[in-house]
């Protein structure tokens, strides 16, 4: 019965390297729980308010980018590595337009014709963008790429945009990082309404929908405690509540699970007591 309620994956976690966990008590998983649990509960509360309750739309930088180097361009003005990800909290069934302005140094691509642009994948499906050369000089070329996700392709909330590009390491200027393009600006809009960028450590809802009821990514959602679920509890009722399902249906399913748990607990208790009574009675018999 417990398998209905407990995921039995990694339950204890720490944000410190493995060696630090072994040799420094302050970084151990036991110690880390008291610091990380409140953070994760806070992230879920923010998710509940900002997305499920208020219906707000926004997007997050989900990885693959270096830190901001031009403060006046923040939160962009930063380099992208080989691949960058954006997590887009836009309600499904609306067209999504994404505009990306970036520059590519001549050190990486000496000729303008040598640059093939960024490659895009939205929720596992390749997307072709319209690319144009905005400006160029002896140091760099600046490009604008625009892609549109049709409303009928907007199934999962949040959607994930993956961007990849060829990289180079600028040893000439003493930089050992693997770089691709310098992101100047990104603008995202849903049905013409701009989406704000959010600076929040929000978890990802379960990536399923009516059109995509299950996938490999959905299965891995249960086993990614740091990026996907940020879970403070490793129990199935918690996953149901946090999955992003509509709240009325979610509450009904949790109640059903609770009934199963309560019924199973009562049945197990009655069975155990009856076995115990029979065992004690047999021992008392001469």
Cβ proximity of 198 and 116 under 8 Å: no
Tokens 């001469």: give the residue: 286
Six token digits for residue 194: 């701009």
Q: pLDDT, tens digit, for every residue of 189-211?
A: 998 889 988 876 666 667 766 66
Asked whether the predicted pLDDT for residue 181 surpasses 90, the reply is yes
- Classify domain 58-194 at the CATH class level: mainly beta
Q: Does 208 or 104 have the greater pLDDT score?
A: 104
Asked whether the predicted pLDDT for residue 15 surpasses 80, the reply is no
What CA–CA distance (Å, rounded) separates 42 from 256? Answer: 27
Q: Does 115 or 219 have the greater pLDDT score?
A: 115
Q: pLDDT, tens digit, for every residue of 142-161?
A: 999 999 999 888 766 678 89
Asked whether the predicted pLDDT for residue 187 surpasses 90, the reply is yes
Asked whether the predicted pLDDT for residue 68 surpasses 90, the reply is yes
What CA–CA distance (Å, rounded) separates 87 from 188? Answer: 11
- What pLDDT does 140 receive? 92
Nearest alpha carbon to residue 4 among 247, 192, 204, 264: 264
Lowest mean pLDDT among 19-23, 114-118, 136-140: 19-23
pLDDT band at 136 (very low <50, low <70, confident <90, very high): very high
Domain boundaries, the chain: 1-55+230-286, 58-194
Cβ proximity of 146 and 233 under 8 Å: no
DSSP annotation string for 44-83: HHHHIIIIIIT---EEEEEEEEEEES-GGGTT--EEEEEE
Q: pLDDT, tens digit, for every residue of 28-66?
A: 666 766 676 676 667 666 666 655 566 678 898 888 999
Other CB atoms closer than 10 Å to residue 18's CB: what's the count?
9
The single-letter DSSP state of residue 18 is H
Q: Does 118 or 243 have the greater pLDDT score?
A: 118
């Amino acid at each position: 019965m417990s398998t209905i309620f407990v995921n039995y994956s990694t339950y204890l976690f720490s944000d410190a390297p493995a060696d630090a966990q072994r040799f420094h008590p302050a970084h151990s998983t036991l110690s880390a729980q008291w610091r990380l649990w409140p953070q994760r509960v806070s992230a879920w509360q923010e998710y509940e308010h900002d997305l499920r309750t208020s219906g707000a739309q926004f997007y997050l930088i989900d990885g693959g980018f270096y830190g901001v180097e031009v403060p006046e361009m923040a939160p962009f003005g930063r380099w992208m590595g080989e691949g960058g990800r954006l997590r887009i909290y836009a309600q499904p069934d609306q067209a999504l337009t994404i505009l990306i302005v970036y520059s590519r140094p001549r050190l990486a691509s000496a000729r303008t014709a040598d640059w093939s642009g960024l490659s895009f994948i939205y929720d596992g499906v390749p997307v072709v963008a319209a690319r144009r050369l905005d400006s160029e000089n002896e140091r760099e070329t600046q490009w604008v790429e625009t892609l549109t996700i049709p409303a009928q392709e907007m199934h999962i909330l949040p959607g994930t945009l993956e961007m990849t590009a060829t990289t180079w390491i600028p040893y000439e200027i003493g930089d050992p990082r693997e770089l691709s393009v310098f992101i100047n600006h990104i603008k995202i809009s849903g049905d013409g309404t701009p989406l704000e960028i959010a600076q929040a450590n929000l978890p990802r809802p379960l990536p399923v929908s009516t059109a995509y009821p299950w996938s490999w990514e959905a299965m891995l959602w249960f086993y990614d405690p740091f990026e996907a679920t940020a879970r403070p509890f490793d129990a199935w009722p918690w996953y149901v509540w946090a999955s992003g399902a509509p709240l009325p249906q979610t509450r009904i399913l949790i109640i059903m699970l609770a009934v199963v748990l309560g019924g199973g607990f009562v049945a197990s208790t009655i069975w155990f007591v009856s076995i115990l009574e029979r065992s004690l009675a047999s021992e008392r018999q001469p």
